[in-house]
Amino acid sequence: MSRTPELRELNRRVTAAIFRAEHLPPGLEAEFAFSDVSRIEEEIARLTAADSLEGSAARQGAITSALSAGDWLRALSLAEAYLAEPAPSVLAPDLVLLRDEASSELSKAEIPNVVQMPFELLVA
Amino acid sequence: MINLDELRALHPDLVEEQVGGYQMCAAIALERQRHAPGVGFAVSVNDELIAETLVWRKRAPHDATMVDMNRATEDGAECLALLVIGRHCSWRAVRRLHSRRREHADWIVEDQSGREIALEVSGTDAGPFGQRVRQKTAQAKAAALGGAAASCVVRFLEPKATLWSDDEPNPRTA
């Protein structure tokens, strides 16, 4: 397969980013690192077809990295977007599993208790 | 002869930090089993047996204390697997996969024609080998989404590696 210089550079970047993220202890720093992986995977997914090995891996990677980053909402929205593509039948079951996992994690997440505060705008 | 220092040349798209980390882990995993540079390395590529020799720069004793035992085995296996596919199949690493969740492969590699292959790598210090080869082969097939798949299992106790692929990778001895 011939790759554009852009795709080759993204492959280098995602390889380095995964290596970095997987070598960090669990915690906030690792979550940030996986967010970085997810963003690069999303860029790769934009440049590759869903029915190619590289394209399907990027789509799965964008979602799984978002899950590793604890970003359930991003994982869910990516899964739904990729399921809406004309994806090959072999990829769809994995995407459905990932979407369900993201959805389940999101439903368990604590919703911040937001209380509306009264306020008044004053002209200086 | 396979020199760990060849990793960079065989896989030019790996970043320096990664290459250095893999080389160090492979050396530590080998030295932990009391091996020294020049040890025999039994390689099997689709059932073709190739007698290799492994060489590396010896590490300072304190290097081993800097790396977790499991990490040394896992990353050391990545290093030897990448060397085997580079030397004996002329495959090149395209990219790493995030394998902590459902993906069942560790790498996308490509052969000289540019065909992409899902590669699963596994390492063990002294654990059962044959069973692991069968298990990793099944994993690689599942990850390939109908495309080409390969698995490479590495053992450090008596250094050996078994590479399986779902077609003939034109192995060549070095």
ipTM, interface predicted TM-score of the complex: 0.86
Residue B168 confidence (pLDDT) above 60: no
Write out chain B residues lying below 8 Å of A19, CB-based: 15, 17-18, 21, 96
* A&B contacts, CB < 8 Å: 84
- Grade residue B141 by pLDDT with cuts at 50, 70 and 90: confident
Query: Is A67 in Cβ contact with B145 (below 8 Å)?
Result: no
Chain B nearest-CA distance from A77, in A, is: 18
DSSP collapsed to 3 states, B112-134: CCCCEEEEEEEEECCCCCHHHHH
Query: HSE of A6 in the Cβ direction (CA atoms, 13 Å)?
Result: 8
Nearest CB neighbour to B102, from listed A23, A54, A64: A64
pLDDT of B105 reads 86
From A89, which residue of chain B is nearest by alpha-carbon distance?
Answer: B145
For all residues of chain B together, what is the average pLDDT?
88
Tokens of A14: 């995602």
Question: Least CB-CB distance to A1: which of B71, B105, B116?
Answer: B116
Q: Is residue B170 part of a domain?
A: no
Answer whether residue B13 is part of any domain.
yes
Distance CA A9, CA B46 (A): 32
The three-point CA angle A27-A19-A56 to 5° equals: 100
Whether the pLDDT of residue B171 is over 90: the answer is: no
Q: Identity (one letter) of the amino acid at B97?
A: L
pLDDT at residue B174, as a whole number: 34
Q: CB-side exposure of B108: number of CA atoms within 13 Å?
A: 26
Residue A74 — φ and ψ, nearest 5°? Answer: -65, -45
Q: What is the pLDDT of residues B100-133, one digit of tens each?
A: 554 578 999 999 999 999 999 999 988 788 888 8
Q: Is B171 part of a structural domain of the chain?
A: no
User: Is residue B85 scored above 90 in pLDDT?
Assistant: yes
For residue B156, which of B60, B59, B40, B48 has the smallest C-alpha distance?
A: B40
In terms of DSSP bridges, do strands B48-55 and B2-3 run parallel, antiparallel, or are they unpaired? parallel
Helices (H), A69-111: 72-84, 92-108
Which tokens belong to B59?
A: 């590490």
Per CB-CB distance under 8 Å, the chain A contacts of B114 are 1-2
pLDDT for res B132: 84
Range of the domain at B44: 2-165
CB contact under 8 A, B97 and A54: no
Task: Quote the pLDDT of residue A84.
Answer: 93
The total of structural domains in chain B comes to 1
Of the candidates A11, A37, A94, which has its C-beta nearest B13's C-beta?
Answer: A11
- Name which of B18, B21, B108 is nearest A53 (Cβ-Cβ): B108
Q: Which residue is closest to A56 within chain B, CA to CA?
A: B145
Count helices and strands (H / E) in chain B: 5, 8
**Interface residue ranges in chain B relative to chain A, Cβ cutoff 8 Å:** 13-15, 17-18, 21, 71, 93-98, 100-103, 105, 108, 110, 114-118, 144-147
In 3-state terms, what secondary structure has residue B39?
Answer: strand
